[in-house]
Amino acid sequence: MSAIEAPVRSYTAEEAQLEAGADSWELINGALLIMSPPGGEHGGCVDNLHFALGSHVRSQRLGKLFAAETGFLLARNPDTLLAPDRAFIAEPRVPQPLPKGWLQTVPDLIVEVVSPSDRIGEVTEKVGKWLEAGGQRVWVVYPPLEIRSGSPCGKRGPAVE
């Protein structure tokens, strides 16, 4: 998904939700990003990943897989709330019961599918935010098949392989 930055202002997650309305959005360090709808290739790729990951996660009873647009509140003051294309939380860490609102548990696996209009700097920033918050693995997927993985590499930030 590509993002269009709203006017410069620091939002809380709650303010961003009111401002964005029904639009898809994310919040990075208080900056509101309104997301454009993804295209067909992106949607097909996300569906294929969901099917493959979901079958494995359910058959092995590994934890919970979350669909696109599920919000994960990673930080407050300034707020960061991201909505990956797919996310996985291992069984011992799945909140019980699941909250009606945003999750505050950082996923173990985060999947971001890149759209043609995405900027590499935005993608890299998101990978960094996920890893800084405690995510164990981030997959950055370039449709139709290329998968890149990010993992912590010291104090310099994420590695994108």
Tell me if 143 sits within 8 A of 113, measured CB to CB. Answer: yes
Cα–Cα distance between 110 and 84 in angstroms, integer? 7
Cα–Cα distance between 116 and 106 in angstroms, integer? 27
**10 in any annotated domain:** no
Tell me if 84 sits within 8 A of 65, measured CB to CB. Answer: no
DSSP element (H, E) containing 18: helix 13-20
**103 in any annotated domain:** yes
Amino acid making up residue 39: G
Residue 155 token pair: 């104090």
Q: What is the CATH number of the domain that holds 116?
A: 3.90.1570.10
What is the model's pLDDT at position 158?
43
What is the model's pLDDT at position 2?
56
What is the model's pLDDT at position 149?
53
Strand blocks (E) in the chain = 3-5, 24-28, 31-35, 63-66, 72-75, 80-82, 86-90, 109-113, 137-142, 146-152, 158-160
**90 in any annotated domain:** yes
Q: What domain range is 134 assigned to?
A: 38-160
Cα–Cα distance between 149 and 161 in angstroms, integer? 6
Centroid of chain to Cα 71 = 8
What is the model's pLDDT at position 142?
87
Amino acid making up residue 103: L
Burial of residue 144, with CB atoms counted within 10 A of its CB: 0-12 exposed, 13-18 middle, 19 or more buried: exposed
Per-residue pLDDT of the chain (161 residues; tens, 9 = 90+): 556 554 578 999 999 999 998 789 999 999 999 888 888 888 888 888 888 899 899 999 999 999 988 999 999 999 999 999 999 999 999 999 999 999 999 999 999 999 888 889 999 999 999 999 999 999 999 887 544 555 443 333 344 44
What is the model's pLDDT at position 147?
45
What is the model's pLDDT at position 44?
81
**112 in any annotated domain:** yes
What is the model's pLDDT at position 36?
84
**119 in any annotated domain:** yes
Cα–Cα distance between 89 and 67 in angstroms, integer? 12
What is the model's pLDDT at position 145?
52
Give the count of domains, the chain.
1
Beta partners for 79?
Answer: none
What is the model's pLDDT at position 1?
52
**83 in any annotated domain:** yes
Q: Compute the CA torsion angle 127, 89, 146, 148 (nearest 10 deg).
A: 40
**26 in any annotated domain:** no
**67 in any annotated domain:** yes
